[in-house]
C-alpha cells in the first residue's frame, strides 16, 4: 500500500527531526533540506533543486528554520498519537 509507505517515511523523518530538528533530503540523506517544492510537495536539498527541480525553480520556496520546526512539530504530534494508539492496542491484548 503506497499510502502506508508514505506514512513510514514521514515517521522516519519525524524521528530524524526529534534527534536534530532538521529534515533530510530523500535523495541525499546526508544533506539538510534547503527548499520546499510546492509543485511536488516535498522538501529538497540544494543539489536536488539544481538537478531535479531546475525546470520549475519558481515553485521552490526557501525553507525557513521555523517552517522546518513547525513541520517537525506536526509530525511529532502525529507520531505521539500513533504511539498512544499502539499502546492502547497492546493494553487490550
Ligand atoms: Zn537532495
Ligand atoms: Zn520540484
Reading the chain (93 residues) residue by residue, the pLDDT tens digits are 555 666 677 766 666 655 545 678 889 988 888 898 999 988 899 999 999 999 999 999 888 777 777 777 888 888 899 899 988 888 876
Q: Distance from the CA of 90 to the center of ligand 1, in angstroms?
A: 38
pLDDT given for residue 72 in this prediction: 77
Q: Which triple of cell numbers denotes residue 46?
A: 540544494
pLDDT given for residue 50 in this prediction: 95
Which residues are 91's β-sheet partners? none
Strand, helix or coil at 69?
Answer: helix
Q: What is the DSSP letter of 56?
A: G
Q: Which residues surround ligand 1, an ion (CB under 5 A)?
A: 25, 27-28, 45, 47-48
- Whose grid coordinates read 543539489? 47
Q: Distance from the CA of 15 to the center of ligand 1, in angstroms?
A: 19
Strand, helix or coil at 63?
Answer: coil
C-alpha 43: how far from chain center: 7
Ligand nearest to the CA of 30: 1
Amino acid at each position: 500500500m503506497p499510502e502506508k509507505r508514505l506514512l513510514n517515511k514521514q515517521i522516519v523523518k519525524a524521528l530524524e527531526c526529534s534527534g536534530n530538528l532538521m529534515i533530510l533530503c530523500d535523495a541525499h540523506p546526508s544533506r539538510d533540506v534547503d527548499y520546499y517544492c510546492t509543485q511536488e510537495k516535498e522538501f529538497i536539498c540544494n543539489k536536488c533543486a539544481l538537478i531535479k527541480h531546475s525546470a520549475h525553480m519558481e515553485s521552490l520556496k526557501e525553507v525557513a528554520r521555523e517552517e522546518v520546526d513547525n513541520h517537525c512539530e506536526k509530525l511529532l504530534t502525529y507520531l505521539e498519537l500513533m504511539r498512544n494508539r499502539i499502546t492502547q492496542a497492546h493494553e487490550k491484548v
